[in-house]
Amino acid sequence: MASKSNQLSDRRILRWKAGKAQETSDTLIVEQALELRMADKTLAVLMRTPGNDIELIRGLLWSEGVIRRDEKPAELTRSDPNTIELHMDHELVKERWAERDVITSSACGVCGASAIARLEELATSILSDLEWSADKVTSASARMRSEQALFHASGAVHGAALFNRSGELVQCREDVGRHNAVDKLVGWALGESLLPLSDHVLMVSSRLSYEIVQKAICAGIPLVLGVSAPSSLAVDMAEQWRVTLAGFVRGQGFNVYSHAYRIVPQNTKSDAESVVST
């Protein structure tokens, strides 16, 4: 875990307001490169906010299909603050690690065609009976935001939060990259032996890109919420793998784009009693 001194940077700025300029300071989120290496070879360079780096790499490798359930866990070690070493069978990694540019920006997810092909190969439809009431959905964004210390300090970082069936916030992760935030969350869950997350809900502080949905499918998450819009491919993937996708989760409203049966009106039934026919 990085300290906030490694995640935030204070800079002198000139602030204009009402036609007047004033020298002051501003807090910026740190963006640095994290190198993933194996046997002296660079597999990827990720632009990220320092912190939870092992979780980030673990979540990325899971969503890429490099590490899989019922296999010996891959060993990850840190050789320096910005380098993670993967210790795994070389031929297996070569077979599973898709061709891509070595450097991946914080705005980038995995490569589209190869990611969807791996999803077809590895993932199964999500048949969770989870239900969430509409009031839980509308309150999720504020609950996530309350845990985003880096966002409150900088205003320039994405969040990903995991909630349980009862609506309790289980874990929250932040990063300058929205995909990184989700990978950190999935990596945490993998380290806690919680996968598949069939009794959980994912909330993200961004648009719902297909990469976000792909990572949710790999983690077995049945309900994904976002503060902004989904793309058409994200909705198509959610439809195919039976993920409930809700966007524009703001204030008291939201739009449901796929498998709407998992979101229900507020009622007196407990979540444990709620069973949805799939």
| Spatial separation of the C-alpha atoms in residues 158 and 199, rounded to whole Å | 23
Distance set, CA 63 to CA 166, 183, 222 (Å): 26, 8, 16
Burial (CB count <10 Å: 0-12, 13-18, 19+), residue 264: middle
- Give the DSSP letter of residue 42: E
∠ CA 224-157-197, rounded to 5°: 30
* The one catalytic residue among 108, 111, 172, 218: 108
Dist. CA 144–CA 112, nearest whole Å: 28
CA-nearest of 224, 184, 231, 220 to 205 is 224
Cα 159 from Cα 149, distance rounded (Å) = 10
Alpha carbon dihedral 213, 216, 222, 227, in 10-degree steps, equals -60
Main-chain phi, psi angles of 209, to 5 degrees: -80, 165
User: What 3-state class would DSSP assign to 107?
Assistant: coil
Active site residue 108: yes
Residue at token pair 């320039």: 156
> Which has the closest alpha carbon to 204: 148, 252, 269, 268?
148
Chain-centroid distance, C-alpha 124: 19
Report the catalytic residues. 108
